[in-house]
Amino acid sequence: MDFDYDLFVIGGGSGGVRAARIAAAEGGAKVALAEEYRMGGTCVIRGCVPKKLMVYASEYPGLMREARAYGWQVEPGTFDWLRFRGRLDRELDRLEAAYRGTLATAGVEVFDLRAKLVDAHRVQLTDGRRFTARHILIATGGRPFLPDVPGVELAVTSNEMFRLEALPARALVVGGGFIASEFACILNGLGVKVTQYYRGAQILLGFDDEARGHVADAMRAGGVDIRCGTDVTALEQIATGIRVTSQAGVAEEFDLVLYATGRVPNSAGLGLERLGVEIGKRGEIVVDGWSQTAVPSIFAVGDVTDRINLTPVAIREGHAFADTVFRGVPRQAEHDLVASAVFTQPELGTVGLSEEVARAQEKIEVYTARFRPMRSLFAGSEDRVLMKLVVSQASRKVLGCHVVGPGAAELIQLAAVALRMGATKEDFDRTVAVHPTIAEELVTLRAPVRSD
């Protein structure tokens, strides 16, 4: 059978774009890609990139306070949200154009339309056109989850946070994951009075308990009103804002309510179930290690598979798929020892196992250091850094590394290289420190604070 394309990609996020580019430019495939919104996906358009720029913006008040302690005559003014948003819009336009340029250079044909599957080798665009493809790749990412709460339509999600017409004076952030916690810190840094509701016992579930407790304590000290064991039962529009009623029956008023209660795979409406593609309980497309579904011609990568929902992982999955199918270089994306960062204030960087998970698997030693870093200490700040290593007693390998403090995301990237190479605690000990730095503490931890 002759096909219109060797590969048809549905979804123009990081994973889909990488797969399309490699298949076309390096695999010699005839490739098409359909994207219904903007090229670049969640990360570039309404996720990590604009969010990180908002993080930078929110850090300047603290930097100015620190500068005054160092002798600079600095007086903060007011934050011009619309000016920032205009620059942000232009930057996202630039990035989207770069993504489109990359695809054009590779020879990928782009359709700015939604696509769905007709059968195992055919897709249909919203304008009615149909195309055949030898292989189809689903890379449609995820979407924010909104619970069934009366008045929830009054809330915004992370998708809308970058398009606000004005900053609120009072904001409620609902959720305790990394997106909720990051936006709580961002808004707080921009001068908004922030309350955060989370129904669980501690924010940042799934991260190391000691590290997430350190972050929560610092957030509270910085002005975020975190209330755990609390959830919303109703939202109501009133003349002066949004009235929010909690489980305890307490009503409070806010100007903005942000729901960041998780994300779910964006797999609905693609026509997958009737083709025999297995869909999991959360809506995830079930794939094997090769990112292949139960239908041999259909593959999926990225957040829609709900494996590890991080942009670099989606890129690795898309690249591995293209290498395997179109370049004759079979390989699977690896999902162990993936480093990640939470851009709260302070930052959290982590790679490997938490203390709790590691202890459930084997006997361990735990090394920690808590200290006031030189830069903020000089400025009179009480901020503290946490450095933590989780070590196997049997093999001496470092099973987990967790950093909370300035530059944690940058530090954890290099720590991830060491852990992937199988570094032991003694390898860390033999490494000469760079002084004076925060990072030197990772190689000067001598005695365990806990061991089994």
C-alpha of 323 from chain center: 25
Residue 9 falls inside a structural domain: yes
Question: Which of 135, 214, 335, 435 is flagged as catalytic?
Answer: 435
- Residues 294, 174, single domain; the answer is no
Torsion sign (Cα): 319, 307, 207, 185 = positive
- Residues 20, 112, single domain; the answer is yes
Residue 331 falls inside a structural domain: no
Token pair 């989207």: residue = 96
The pLDDT of residue 435: 95
Residue 256 falls inside a structural domain: yes
- Residues 358, 315, single domain; the answer is no
Residue 402 is a catalytic residue: no
Q: What is the mean pLDDT of residues 367-395?
A: 95
Tokens of 121: 């080798």
- Residues 138, 269, single domain; the answer is yes
Percent of the chain with pLDDT over 70: 100
Global pTM reads: 0.95
- Residues 15, 129, single domain; the answer is yes
Tokens of 104: 């054009």
The pLDDT of residue 392: 98
**With b meaning 16 or more CB within 10 Å and e meaning fewer, what string describes 8-42?**
bbbbbbbbbbbbbbbbbbebebbbbbbbeebbbbb
Question: CA-CA-CA-CA torsion for 73, 347, 177, 46, nearest 10 degrees?
Answer: 70
13 SS3 class: coil
The pLDDT of residue 42: 87
SS (H, E, C) 31-48: EEEECCCCCCHHHHHHCH
Model confidence pLDDT, tens digit, residues 25-53: 999 999 999 999 999 988 889 899 999 99
Helix H or strand E segment including 322: helix 311-326
Residue 174 has phi, psi (to 5 degrees) of: -105, 120
Percent of the chain with pLDDT over 90: 95
What is the rounded distance in angstroms from the CA atom of residue 98 to the CA atom of residue 446? 48
Least confident of 55-59, 268-272, 297-301, 389-393: 268-272
- Which of 48, 31, 32, 51 has its CA nearest to residue 40? 48
Model confidence pLDDT, tens digit, residues 64-120: 999 999 999 998 788 999 999 999 999 999 999 999 999 999 999 999 999 999 999
Residue 162 falls inside a structural domain: yes
Range of the domain at 402: 346-451
pLDDT band at residue 452 using 50, 70 and 90 as cut-offs: confident
- Residues 13, 131, single domain; the answer is yes
Residue 195's contacts (CB-CB under 8 Å, 6 or more residues apart) are 170, 171, 172, 173, 224, 225, 227, 252, 254
Residue 335 falls inside a structural domain: no
40 beta partners: none
Residue 214 falls inside a structural domain: yes
Domain termination site, one of 228, 245, 261: 261
Q: In the predicted model, is pLDDT for residue 1 greater than 80?
A: no
Compute how many other C-beta atoms are within 10 angstroms of the C-beta atom of residue 422: 12
- Residues 157, 135, single domain; the answer is no
Model confidence pLDDT, tens digit, residues 270-302: 999 899 999 999 999 999 999 999 999 999 999
* Count of positions (residues) in the chain: 452
- Residues 355, 418, single domain; the answer is yes
- Residues 374, 430, single domain; the answer is yes
